[in-house]
């Protein structure tokens, strides 16, 4: 049985990713945050509310681990074709080229979504495990899943622009160096200019702005991250499918 022409590239991409190191990356990044939180809880002297642990996890994720994971994941997804020089074979096939690139976009977005969910799930797991070891540190208050899922969802949506830029660069250049340089550079400026008001317009800081207390920052970063992200994604698809790979 063959998949429909629209879904075939997506299934093919998923099969390639499934046999790559993407799965390891998808587990490793959230695990590191969970391990960090686990020891943070154990170091505590008094119980803290669930909200604080979740915000901690969301902060580390949005601030540093998400940009770095996106850098690594997009480079990995692009290098699956750059490495064995598969582009000529793929681009010579009788199907619209944009579908090949769109399949990569969907897969990367899906993996980042899974990682975001994994961060939340592993946060719960790590804190619960630490509390089981030291019951007196059991977090106070309820674990408000809908609230926290909403926060991680907004972080994810605000990251779309960053993902689009990273994936575009990674697919455009056969060497992984430009993609890594952009990712590391973006994360660096995001870290050193944390408190800059202009950060709300900086793609690598848009996710972390979802933790801001000022509503305009959240709305601006979310609107730009998602809206511009979609525009850049469409632009990237158009550019990549039209350009000649010499």
Partner 1 sequence: MPAAIETRGLTRCFKRHLAVDSVSMTVPDRAVYGFLGRNGAGKTTTLKMLLGLIRPSEGSALVCGVDIGRDRIGAARKVGALLEAHGFYGNLSGRENLDLTRSLLGLAKSEIDRVLEVVEMTEHARRRVSDYSLGMRQRLGLARAMLGAPPVLVLDEPTNGLDPDGIADMRRFLRALPERTGATVLLSSHLLGEIEQTATHVGILSHGKLVLEGELGRLKADLAPEIALQTDDAARATALARARGFDVLPSDDGLVARLKPGEDARTASASLNRALIEADIAVFAIGARSRSLEGIYREVSPPAPTAATAKPRPEFA
State yes or no: residue 11 binds partner 1 (CB under 8 A).
yes
| Smallest distance, partner 1 to C-beta of residue 188, A | 32
Q: Which stretch binds partner 1 (CB under 8 A): 69-77, 88-96, 108-116, 180-188?
A: 88-96
> What mask, x for binding partner 1 by CB under 8 A, covers residues 35 to 74?
----------------------------------------
Q: Name beta bridge partners: 140.
A: 49
| Smallest distance, partner 1 to C-beta of residue 89, A | 4
State yes or no: residue 32 binds partner 1 (CB under 8 A).
no
Between 91 and 172, CB nearer to partner 1:
91
Of 24, 39, 43, 86, which one interacts with partner 1 (CB under 8 A)? 86
Nearest Cα residue to 183 out of 105, 73, 26, 58: 73
**Are 210 and 221 in contact, with CB atoms under 8 Å apart?**
yes
Of 27, 42, 51, 91, which one interacts with partner 1 (CB under 8 A)? 91
Q: How buried is 246 (Cβ within 10 angstroms: 0-12 exposed, 13-18 middle, 19+ buried)?
A: exposed
State yes or no: residue 173 binds partner 1 (CB under 8 A).
no
Q: Please state, in angstroms and rounded to a whole number, the distance separating the CA atoms of residues 200 and 113.
A: 22
State yes or no: residue 15 binds partner 1 (CB under 8 A).
yes
Nearest Cα residue to 13 out of 111, 96, 109, 100: 100
**Are 26 and 58 in contact, with CB atoms under 8 Å apart?**
no
Q: Which stretch binds partner 1 (CB under 8 A): 36-44, 65-73, 78-86, 156-164?
A: 78-86
Q: Please state, in angstroms and rounded to a whole number, the distance separating the CA atoms of residues 207 and 223.
A: 11
Token representation of residue 20: 């790559």
Query: What SS3 class is residue 193?
Result: coil
| Smallest distance, partner 1 to C-beta of residue 84, A | 5
Residues that bind partner 1 (CB under 8 A): 2-3, 5, 8-9, 11-12, 15-16, 19-20, 80-81, 84-96, 244-246
């Amino acid at each position: 049985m063959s998949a429909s022409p629209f879904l075939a590239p997506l299934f093919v991409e998923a099969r390639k990713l499934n046999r790559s190191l993407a799965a390891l990356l998808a587990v490793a990044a959230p695990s590191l945050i969970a391990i960090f939180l686990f020891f943070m809880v154990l170091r505590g002297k008094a119980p803290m509310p669930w909200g604080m642990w979740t915000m901690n996890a969301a902060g580390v994720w949005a601030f540093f681990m998400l940009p770095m994971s996106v850098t690594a994941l997009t480079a990995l997804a692009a290098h699956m074709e750059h490495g064995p020089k598969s582009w000529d074979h793929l681009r010579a096939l009788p199907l619209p080229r944009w579908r090949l690139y769109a399949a990569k976009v969907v897969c990367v977005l899906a993996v980042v979504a899974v990682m975001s969910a994994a961060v939340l799930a592993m946060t719960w797991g790590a804190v619960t495990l630490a509390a089981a070891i030291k019951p007196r540190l059991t977090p106070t208050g309820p674990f408000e899943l809908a609230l926290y899922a909403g926060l991680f969802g907004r972080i994810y949506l605000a990251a779309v622009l960053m993902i689009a830029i990273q994936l575009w660069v990674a697919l455009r250049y056969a060497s992984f160096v430009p993609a890594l340089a952009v990712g590391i550079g973006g994360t660096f400026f995001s870290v050193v200019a944390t408190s800059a008001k202009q950060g709300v317009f900086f793609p690598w800081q848009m996710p972390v702005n979802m933790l801001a207390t000022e509503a305009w920052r959240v709305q601006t970063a979310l609107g730009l991250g998602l809206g511009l992200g979609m525009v850049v994604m469409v632009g990237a698809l158009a550019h990549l499918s039209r350009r000649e790979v010499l």
